[in-house]
Structure 1
Amino acid sequence: MTETVRGTPAWLRATNDRTALGLLLQHGPLTRNRLGELSGLSKPTAAQMVARLEGAGLIRVDGEISGGRGPNAVSYAVRADRVLGVAVDVSSTGITATVVDATGAEHPVAELPLAPDAARSAVSDVRGAIAAACDAAGIRTDAVRLVCIGVQAAVAQRADELTFTDTLPGWPTTGIRAHLEEQLGVSVTLDNDANLAAVAERAAGSAEEVDGFALLWMGEGLGLAIDVSGRIYRGASGGSGEIGYLPVPSEGLALDPDAPTLTEFFGASAWARLQAAPDPVAALAERVALGLVPVLAVLDPERIVLGGPTGREGGERLAALVAERLATGTQWRPDVVATAVPSHPVLRGAREVLIADVHSRLFEDVARLQP
């Protein structure tokens, strides 16, 4: 594609078209007059933008809006089916998936059981997830162009490698993204499940207004996602936040001498054992506070969000007790809160990633429009 020279009529048309598409993505259906008002452009220019975008199949007529006196005004909307994605969460207990479109509309969440370990592969897991999500949403699988997958593993995105893949039998540890793209014919993004949960927390959870935070994921395993000014820090090899492998501090061994790592200390198995304690949540809070000390010493985050199945179950009481123990036993005073993402946090984070990717693809399509 030839680069458009700034200041030329072609550059101005492309700029106006991007503006119109951005406004439709931001506000939803708009009339030509309203597009002109929001963009600051004249009615004839707004009409030309709409004609170009509609002719290219990027927008469609959405309906009519009554303006009182005179004929009804036609409203236009971005075509939700122009670029579609599927968000996928591959966990140790099952697979969930949902379709994602440019509008960010909610589509049904499909749930799939895991195949036996010997029958699993990355391609079969993801292909099945795409098919189930599309079936639930009533669309064809060949309409999908993008997939974002959350996995319980460390993801080195540049090297295209996976490590800590205990829950992914049959998945290759090298060349995974390239392998999936070749076999499935879609663009693939992979990320750690806790990282995607943190993306969801930043977008619509307990961390919308803070500069940075750490999300402690507590479930079958443990994970830590680190948000720095809205960007996830993944480390050189994608292994940042794999705190479940850290040894239990000496103070913790007095509580549980049979727990060599933090996963055994306050992961799902420990939480199950603590149900026999007089106050299971208080007992868990003591362990979580001890496990967070290395995080606080290295990162000193403004806020810590307790997520994952155990974090959700413990709720605000667990968060308050962890904050209390940190305040009385350490030098740090972070704000500790429970997750506010209502359900499917990994899937919701993958949706946020895909919505941004879908929008980017649409803007690329605008840039290719011919005058």
Structure 2
Amino acid sequence: MNQIDPGTPTWLAARNDRTAFRLLLEHGPLTRSRLGELTGLSKPTASQMLARLERVGLIHPVGERSNGRGPNAVTYGVRTDRITGVAISILERSIQAVVVDAVDHEHPIVQIATEPEGRTPEGDVRSAIRAACAEAGIDESTVSRVVIGVQAAFFVDGDELSFTDTLPGWPPVGSRARIESALGIEVTIDNDVNLATMAERSAGVAHLAASFALFWIGDGLGVGVDLGGTVHRGASGGAGEIGYLAVPKAATPLAPAANDFTDLLGGPAVARLLGGAGESLGEMLPRLTDDEAALSALADRVILAVSPLLAILDPSMIVIGGPTGIAGGDRLAELVAERVDPAAHPKLTIRTSATGAQPVLLGARQQLVEQIRDHLEADISLAT
């Protein structure tokens, strides 16, 4: 990127071009006239901005719009074929992936079954990119980066993974470097619940919360901690691994054999609450919504896990998410709220996650959109 001296005509042109580019991202395809109206600049200046952005391949003509009398006006849109990314969620027995572009088009999500033998970080990611691009009809060569959600703790500075029970073939050190070296792309790895927490802040029920904790309940457990808009990861990336925490004595009447919170609230425990005898959590969860007794018993367990969060963090909101939390819905949130001491936590709200069925991919997508746009915007100085 070339250095541009502030205050010069070149600097002003680059600033105008960035404004135009952001408006095209925000509003979609625009004509020269409409861009001039939105920026407050003249039509000739708007034409110059569009010409510079087109010259470096950031935008292209995408259609025409009738102006009534006279010739139709050309509309310009941001190119989505230059740089793309793939959002990936690595699960124990499958991989989910979706292509992401600069304007955050909806592309199909793919799911790939995996076998524990022979897996590697680079192999998993290569398979995810290939499948996602094939499903979306996107050229694999345009993929420059991936954001990966893993069911593990990730320490960025050391490229270190821990709590990797569900990541067969992924080494404790060097997974990101191996993927980048093998595939020649930029790689971001993060804990899956942290990505879901980011999605909850930007597109879920916690967008106005001063601070909140996302309590993820599924086959495993996790907590994402958002403090004023920043996800707290801890000194080694292990913040929120609540499933490994020993249960209190109060859990004994509920589950005498439970040693940790995964024993109390993980997939097998919830499946048993719903009357399962060897069935998986996914098979049993549809019963939860209409089973008031199971919801009440589940709330008794959830409050035991939530209480340490309240004592340590005192957040303004607890969001209950993950497959079990979503299946429990608003009724589970209500039952948990009834079990909170209002005198100790008068400002607390308990809500159900509102980020949909794929919160991990949603959080990864949001990161990728920002990364792709930042990369493209860095090229604007080349247009001047």
TM range (shorter): over 0.9
Residues in 1 aligned to 2:26 and 2:367: alpha-carbon distance in whole angstroms = 16
2:357 to 343, 350, 359: 343
Letter in 2 for 1:175: G
Match of 2:335 in 1: 321
Q: What is the aligned length? A: 368
Gap change, CA 1:67 and 1:327, over 3 Å in 2: farther
Task: Say whether residues 1:105 and 2:119 are aligned partners.
Answer: no
Match of 1:229 in 2: 228
Residues in 2 aligned to 1:343 and 1:368: alpha-carbon distance in whole angstroms = 41
Match of 2:173 in 1: 174
Matches within 5 A, 1:85-104: 85-104=85-104
2:324 to 310, 326, 330: 310
TM superposition shift of 1:86: 0.2
Residues in 1 aligned to 2:120 and 2:18: alpha-carbon distance in whole angstroms = 40
1:292 to 285, 306, 309: 306
| SS of corresponding position for 1:341 | coil
TM superposition shift of 1:278: 7.6
Letter in 2 for 1:178: A
Which segment drifts farther, 331-340 or 75-84? 331-340
Task: Say whether residues 1:332 and 2:331 are aligned partners.
Answer: no
Which segment drifts farther, 124-133 or 245-254? 245-254
Aligned alpha-carbon RMSD (Å):
1.4
Residues in 2 aligned to 1:247 and 1:353: alpha-carbon distance in whole angstroms = 34
Residues in 2 aligned to 1:140 and 1:237: alpha-carbon distance in whole angstroms = 37
Mind listing any 5+ residue stretches in structure 2 that lack a counterpart? 276-290
TM superposition shift of 1:368: 3.1
Match of 1:163 in 2: 162
Residues in 1 aligned to 2:39 and 2:235: alpha-carbon distance in whole angstroms = 42
Match of 1:184 in 2: 183
- Using structure 1 for the length normalisation, give the TM-score: 0.96
Matches within 5 A, 1:105-254: 105-115=105-115, 117-254=116-253
Residues in 2 aligned to 1:172 and 1:303: alpha-carbon distance in whole angstroms = 36
Task: Say whether residues 1:34 and 2:47 are aligned partners.
Answer: no
Runs of at least 4 residues of structure 1 off by over 2 A?
none
Match of 2:374 in 1: 360
Match of 2:6 in 1: 6
| SS of corresponding position for 1:206 | coil
Letter in 2 for 1:29: P
Residues in 1 aligned to 2:82 and 2:35: alpha-carbon distance in whole angstroms = 21
Contact kept, 8 Å, 2:20 with 2:39, in 1: the verdict is yes
Letter in 2 for 1:37: E
TM superposition shift of 1:21: 0.5
| SS of corresponding position for 2:274 | helix
TM superposition shift of 1:211: 2.2
Superposed CA deviations along residues 159-213 of structure 1, whole A, max 9, x for unmatched, are: 2111100100111111221111011111000000001111221222221222221
Residues in 2 aligned to 1:269 and 1:332: alpha-carbon distance in whole angstroms = 31
Superposed CA deviations along residues 264-286 of structure 1, whole A, max 9, x for unmatched, are: 11111110111139811110101
Residues in 2 aligned to 1:299 and 1:32: alpha-carbon distance in whole angstroms = 51
Match of 2:288 in 1: none
Residues in 2 aligned to 1:33 and 1:273: alpha-carbon distance in whole angstroms = 64
Match of 2:294 in 1: 280
Residues in 1 aligned to 2:351 and 2:111: alpha-carbon distance in whole angstroms = 29
Which segment drifts farther, 98-107 or 202-211? 202-211
Identity %: 52
Contact kept, 8 Å, 2:2 with 2:382, in 1: the verdict is no
Match of 1:43 in 2: 43
| SS of corresponding position for 1:213 | strand
